[in-house]
Structure 1
Amino acid sequence: MKNLYLAFCISLVTLVNVCAQTNKSNNINTTGHNIHIQLKPYKNTTIYLGTYYGKGKTLADSAYLNSNSEGAFKGTKPLTEGIYFVVSPQYTIQFEVLVGKQQHFSIVADSANKLQPVITGSPDNTLFLQYSQESYKLGSDIDALQKQLAQQHNHTDSVKIESEIKTASQKLHQARENIIHQHPQSLLAFLLQAMQRPEIPAIPVVNGKPDSLYPFRYVKEHYWDDVLFNDDRLLHTPFFEPKLDDYFKYYVSPEPDSIINEVNYILLSARTGKEIYPYLLTKFTNKYLNPEYMGQDKVFLFLYENFYAKGDTVILNAESKKMITDRAYSMMANQIGAAAPELNLTDTAGKNISLYSLKAPFTVVVFWDPTCGHCKEELPRIDSIYKAKWKAMGVKLYSVNVNEARMDDLKQFVNDHHFSPDWILTYQTKAARQAEQIANEPNYRQLYDVFKTPTLYLLDADKHIIAKQLTIEQIDNLMQVKRTPKQ
């Protein structure tokens, strides 16, 4: 694993190597922000001040440089503390700078020497310079030693190099600890605490047996030590969101209820954060609106019912509010494990067929359109696997034509491809649809979240939803797993 200095120092030190000096003036205006800058050779042009915003970057301010290459990033409101960067008129990053509580300072820089800006009047950058010089030296030494170790074949020399790496790593760790304990209120201390991840402990032996899960539990329990989720400064770093993503990837079970517990804790903790709360709510909403794994849309429903439906739609515009509300209502009735909504549609003989009238260990419900190219590929495949395997298992096929006006096309397609006569081919008549609308009842498209075709569901003997939105092969595998007796 790379040393922690890389995650921070490469981002800042090698890009910035800021030369900071202490401001001797006692007459500093502390309202808003006023960052005077001279950036040669740019003249009579506009430059920009950018900042990290989660995984992305955004522009926070602009400054017009006069004929002496001088200007100021200036505003009546303070900037959110964090890591910022100066951007050229061509939108290239020149160097990074820390913006802390003191937001009235000056920068003198030259684009021909981006690594040597001189920053005056910023205690945060003064402290950072001291730390960065030490940590960059130690980090470079560690890198060099690791390269030596990789090429070393002599055991004695390898042990010596490993000892030197350990010593340098301890010094690097101590440098960070010194900042955190000696300057606890500094922006640098905050950044170091926010970026760090727990060291993985050794596996302990308990009652004569190794506790192999202890390292995992320890890291998970201490992953967010000293991090407050309502701190807006977290957003203005390049490492918070990747750290958050890794936490959910490696330390949170993909099971929806486990995710919900974590998401709920983080959002409730972040709720007083002006910037970070809406950012995190939006992040989790987008992630679980179209989740990576089946069933995780339950997390999105939780967010809707416990946040958006309780007033947090104020962060949305009208279009986004409608989209989220519509998607939530389209997911409510088709959650994994829930009873499938009733379907009582008309078949090709004009007879109403109830989904719940089918007696089978498994029922595959297929929503499709005979004019859909993908459906024309997938439906014959379903028919083939049905004839080869599923029929003998007692599986029933209940299909719904979502393009009611093209029933003739459906019949022709079925005949041309010699579908099994066991298929139940249904559609909703115009009269049934109108009656449904008059009664203000949800239609099957909403109940089954049918916004693309084909859409497949797998139901058990009691018509509870086992799976949805899976491939034919995945559905077949699930059937085999479900029908295999537990040992």
Structure 2
Amino acid sequence: LSSLKFKGSKDNELFYTYMDFLSEKREIADTLNAHRKKAVEFRQDTTAIDLQLKELEMNVLAYQNDLVQKNPESITALMLLGNKDIDIPALDVAAEELQRARFYYYRKHFFDHIDFSNPALIRTPFLYNKIERYLDQLTVQIPDTISQTIDEILLKMEPANETWKFYVSHFLNKYAKSLVIGMDAVYVHMVDQYYSKGRTTWVAKETLEKIIDNAEKLRPTLLGKIAEDVTLYTEDKQPVRIHDIQSDYLVLFFWAPDCGHCKQSMPDIVKFSEKFKDKGVKVVAVCTKGRDKVAECWDFVKEKNMGVFYYNLTDELYRSRYHVKYDVRTTPKVFILDKDKKIILKNVAGEKLDEVMTEVMKNDGKM
């Protein structure tokens, strides 16, 4: 790096000078650490080496502090500050509370050295990773908490317009793609707070309409919502209202006879129903075929021994609009409802139902 020259670029010169310095000190540290390793192997005193390593560390810190003080607006200074460790002081708490207190102190001060309003931050490589760590590792993984945290970060970024725009888009896409059950609520929050309010003026009209429409489709089935009541029908045309089914837990399973994943899942769900039917769990299977194809549903029910379910239902004429009310764009689609028909889980794979329901019932004190 020492042979590189940059004309008219103080930031680049500063950065590469620092990297040369760091490379030189790292070589010395590697040599000292190798000597120390041998000394330990031969049970020799390492005090002198330890002192040299400590002195080396102090030299690097002094160089970094001097660089930041003399060049506070440089990209290199921003990087050094952004990656600076959080020094946790001695905390006056009970021993059993110390770990928790240290965590909350660390989280509270995680962004102490970052000025989100600085537009230059978007050009630094560390910011993205730091924010991802804060959201994924230092924030309780509950949609409401994550949404609040995102709002706090974006509020600090507002003066830096390009940074703000980038992260508004990033957070939307991050939670649109999330495979974690329930995180679609963060996506809906992003749409409500930023996209629906006309704040994302850079998004094309057609794209914006699709984003908002997707949020509206997700909204009725967010965790914690009361599931929509729909009337569906048995094979002999008897109406069944979902909210009339009394049970501690209701597993609502939307499927189609020509769906490969449904065929794979069905044996697991049949087995699950047999195991849990006397434990306050009722399985209701809803075939998504209608009109002239509804007969395929009943043939499949008989073929796959689905008579064990509490109900097998269809909506031949699609009058209930369950596709909209339960966001059934693809199959299989599984919902677990509590006795009040509140959605407590969804999109659980058939082979995981036993494990998941067991955990739910344990948490509720019912197993």
TM-score computed with the length of structure 1 as normaliser? 0.69
Task: Identify, as 1 or 2, the structure richer in strand.
Answer: 1
2:61 to 173, 180, 187: 173
Contact 1:364 1:396 in 2 (8 A): yes
Match of 2:164 in 1: 277
2:70 pairs with 1:182: yes
1:464 to 342, 345, 349: 342
Q: Read off the aligned partner of 2:57 and give its amino acid letter.
A: S
- Seen in structure 2, the aligned counterparts of structure 1 residues 148 and 239 have a Cα distance that, compared at 3 Å, is farther
- Seen in structure 2, the aligned counterparts of structure 1 residues 206 and 365 have a Cα distance that, compared at 3 Å, is closer
2:14 pairs with 1:127: yes
Task: Report percent identity of matched pairs.
Answer: 25
Contact 2:75 2:124 in 1 (8 A): no
2:358 pairs with 1:480: yes
2:131 to 239, 244, 247: 244
Question: Mean Cα displacement is larger for which, 262-271 or 182-191?
Answer: 182-191
- Seen in structure 2, the aligned counterparts of structure 1 residues 348 and 172 have a Cα distance that, compared at 3 Å, is same
Contact 2:191 2:215 in 1 (8 A): yes
Match of 2:142 in 1: 255
2:282 pairs with 1:396: yes
2:153 pairs with 1:153: no
Q: Read off the aligned partner of 1:397 and give its amino acid letter.
A: V
2:89 and 2:156 map into 1 onto residues whose CA distance is 31
- Seen in structure 2, the aligned counterparts of structure 1 residues 403 and 144 have a Cα distance that, compared at 3 Å, is farther
- Quote how far apart the aligned CAs of 1:295 are: 1.5
1:450 and 1:159 map into 2 onto residues whose CA distance is 68
Match of 2:152 in 1: 265
TM-score computed with the length of structure 2 as normaliser? 0.89
1:393 partner SS: coil
Post-superposition Cα deviations, 1:244-265, rounded to whole Å, max 9, x if no partner, equal 2122222111112221121001
The CA RMSD over aligned residues, in Å, is 2.5
- Seen in structure 2, the aligned counterparts of structure 1 residues 132 and 480 have a Cα distance that, compared at 3 Å, is closer
- Seen in structure 2, the aligned counterparts of structure 1 residues 391 and 129 have a Cα distance that, compared at 3 Å, is closer
Post-superposition Cα deviations, 1:112-140, rounded to whole Å, max 9, x if no partner, equal xxxx3322233333433443332222222
Q: Read off the aligned partner of 2:66 and give its amino acid letter.
A: N
Radius of gyration: which is bigger? 1
2:166 pairs with 1:288: no
- Quote how far apart the aligned CAs of 1:425 are: 2.1
1:198 to 75, 82, 86: 86
- Quote how far apart the aligned CAs of 1:296 are: 1.8
2:51 pairs with 1:163: yes
- Seen in structure 2, the aligned counterparts of structure 1 residues 347 and 127 have a Cα distance that, compared at 3 Å, is same
2:235 and 2:42 map into 1 onto residues whose CA distance is 80
Match of 2:198 in 1: 311
Structure 1: segments with no counterpart, 5+ residues? 1-16, 19-115, 437-442
Match of 1:444 in 2: 322
Q: Read off the aligned partner of 2:348 and give its amino acid letter.
A: L
1:349 partner SS: coil
2:117 partner SS: coil
- Seen in structure 2, the aligned counterparts of structure 1 residues 267 and 153 have a Cα distance that, compared at 3 Å, is same
2:317 pairs with 1:426: no
- Quote how far apart the aligned CAs of 1:464 are: 0.8
Question: Mean Cα displacement is larger for which, 133-142 or 351-360?
Answer: 133-142
Report how many residues are paired: 363
Q: Read off the aligned partner of 2:140 and give its amino acid letter.
A: S
1:392 partner SS: coil
Match of 2:115 in 1: 228
Task: Identify, as 1 or 2, the structure richer in helix.
Answer: 2
1:332 partner SS: helix
- Quote how far apart the aligned CAs of 1:209 are: 6.3
Q: Read off the aligned partner of 1:314 and give its amino acid letter.
A: T
- Quote how far apart the aligned CAs of 1:204 are: 4.6
2:57 partner SS: helix
2:284 partner SS: strand
Post-superposition Cα deviations, 1:167-194, rounded to whole Å, max 9, x if no partner, equal 2122111111111112223332223223
- Quote how far apart the aligned CAs of 1:205 are: 5.9
- Quote how far apart the aligned CAs of 1:454 are: 0.4
- Quote how far apart the aligned CAs of 1:307 are: 0.9
Post-superposition Cα deviations, 1:382-432, rounded to whole Å, max 9, x if no partner, equal 112211x111113222222222243222211221222225442222233x5
Q: Read off the aligned partner of 2:113 and give its amino acid letter.
A: D
- Quote how far apart the aligned CAs of 1:359 are: 0.9
Post-superposition Cα deviations, 1:7-58, rounded to whole Å, max 9, x if no partner, equal xxxxxxxxxx26xxxxxxxxxxxxxxxxxxxxxxxxxxxxxxxxxxxxxxxx
Q: Read off the aligned partner of 1:127 and give its amino acid letter.
A: L
Structure 2: segments with no counterpart, 5+ residues? none
1:364 partner SS: strand
2:105 to 218, 231, 234: 218
